[in-house]
Structure 1
């Protein structure tokens, strides 16, 4: 098949390099062909380079522009998976170096995804070699347990601050973003919920440093608008002080039902107003029922 559009040509090349559905996962496979033909929609996909690393890629309309004076840059986010820990790769350093490289190279207006893959694989190998060299010259590195950051190793971890993040996005619809929201919460041992729709809401509770890492990852994805509306410090008693102790779930609730669900878990009207700008109100029936229960006490 002949591909006259450079974006389509690059995607076809990626399909020949990676297994679609396993290594190359598109946000919307059904609408992909029409989107490429129209060139009016952003095409998003996850690319699993190896067992330890995956990329989240967004190719906006007009990419690649073919014009260095008016380049259209792709959005590429690196995510190291838990299995990458033995490699000793610094994710922040890798991402920082990659973003600097991408911004410079993408300004040529040419397709860059395949070049980005090569750069990341090369940089990953370089960092891995450095880590191996450090291990050979500093035996103390090898003595560190693999799970040194595990919450089960230190009794004092139970005293770490538990925070609750209230994150509001213009909308949450992308299947890839919704999957990452759930996967990262599980990886970082956070509880709470994601409410897709417009606006989208993410509530994440957990140890402060893990919650902050979660927010750092989320805001680095491509959003029309996303904001951390509040960061509550809710206690130091582990799961006992959490409003959402049973895990992290995705909920599809009508807007008028959101506060009722949250209120049942201890969220006040004032807290709801802080996040959404309007006070939370219970349905009329729920208010009557609540007054009736109080009257019986």
Structure 2
């Protein structure tokens, strides 16, 4: 649900503030519950108290847990519709290899989906993790055969998301791309656009991991392959970065599509704009 009344929005945000207060009372040691953007928290508080009509961003939280002496981070984004919509939840832990990390996130999000809508569920997610974390940590890393880089094809994935607001997701998108030596970019906001390019195995591994997070909507819209065997010449980006093309929208909620198109053209991939959005981009002279 994209449109909700101001009254309903205030009710939802008040529920979120109350749940945050409860979390902070239980996890009261310094740093156990972290609000990623204090300004957003202030905006929400003012909005609920009728001190501001400014529409706040989504609330991002990181809850640090120690389960059987092992460290976990429960990264939570609360959309405006929460608790009547699912929270976006993602678990990070140095105790997990990538495959179990993907499976754990898939399973906790299935658990969240099964919960009754309209009721706060972060404590339920924490309890689920406390009960189940050990079974994922005990899974040993499988050694995969060495890849022959010379025989690997290059690919480019164009990914479309309903929105990318969460600071945690944005950091994970960039960090994982750098770990896997993938180039491209991530444009946060609504909609969110991601391009990743590199070896087929690395891009597939990145996509499996990122897709395991909770998303309102995310899908691989266009896949390009190096069919002409151009090798490194197929790649259009020299690194992976987050790009922000600010327009009159508040705090990157909506990006300047003209700036995005100019950015794509500067990398030699302007043709993809129509495939992503279904319309031709306006020329810079317009």
Global fold match (TM > 0.5): yes
1:275 paired residue number = 276
Closer/same/farther in 2, CA of residues 97 and 268 from structure 1, 3 Å limit: closer
1:258 paired residue number = 260
Closer/same/farther in 2, CA of residues 210 and 277 from structure 1, 3 Å limit: same
1:43 paired residue number = 59
2:101 paired residue number = 91
**Where does structure 1 lack aligned partners over 5 or more consecutive residues?**
65-71, 136-140, 286-297
**Corresponding residue SS for 1:31:** helix
Q: Select which of 75, 81, 84 maps to 1:56.
A: 75
Closer/same/farther in 2, CA of residues 218 and 96 from structure 1, 3 Å limit: closer
Q: Give the structure-2-normalised TM-score.
A: 0.68
Partner deviation per Cα, 1:186-221 (whole Å, 9 max, x = no partner): 233211012334443211112223323433444454
**Corresponding residue SS for 2:224:** strand
Deviation at 1:93, TM superposition (A): 3.6
The reply to whether residue 77 of structure 1 matches residue 93 of structure 2 is: no
Hey, what's the Cα distance between the residues in 2 that align with 1:52 and 1:206?
A: 32
Deviation at 1:242, TM superposition (A): 1.3
Hey, what's the Cα distance between the residues in 2 that align with 1:44 and 1:276?
A: 28
Hey, what's the Cα distance between the residues in 1 that align with 2:71 and 2:149?
A: 27
Contact 2:102 2:208 in 1 (8 A): no
Rg larger for: 1
Partner deviation per Cα, 1:141-188 (whole Å, 9 max, x = no partner): 8xx65xx47xxx44x133222211112334444433332322232233
Deviation at 1:82, TM superposition (A): 5.5
Contact 2:160 2:220 in 1 (8 A): yes
Q: Give the structure-1-normalised TM-score.
A: 0.66
1:127 paired residue number = 136
Closer/same/farther in 2, CA of residues 83 and 18 from structure 1, 3 Å limit: farther
Aligned length: 251
2:124 paired residue number = 115
The reply to whether residue 28 of structure 1 matches residue 72 of structure 2 is: no
Hey, what's the Cα distance between the residues in 1 that align with 2:168 and 2:198?
A: 23
**Corresponding residue SS for 1:283:** coil
Deviation at 1:110, TM superposition (A): 4.6
Hey, what's the Cα distance between the residues in 2 that align with 1:115 and 1:31?
A: 24
Hey, what's the Cα distance between the residues in 1 that align with 2:231 and 2:269?
A: 18
- Aligned-residue CA RMSD in angstroms? 3.7
1:202 paired residue number = 194
Contact 1:170 1:200 in 2 (8 A): yes
Hey, what's the Cα distance between the residues in 1 that align with 2:75 and 2:260?
A: 30
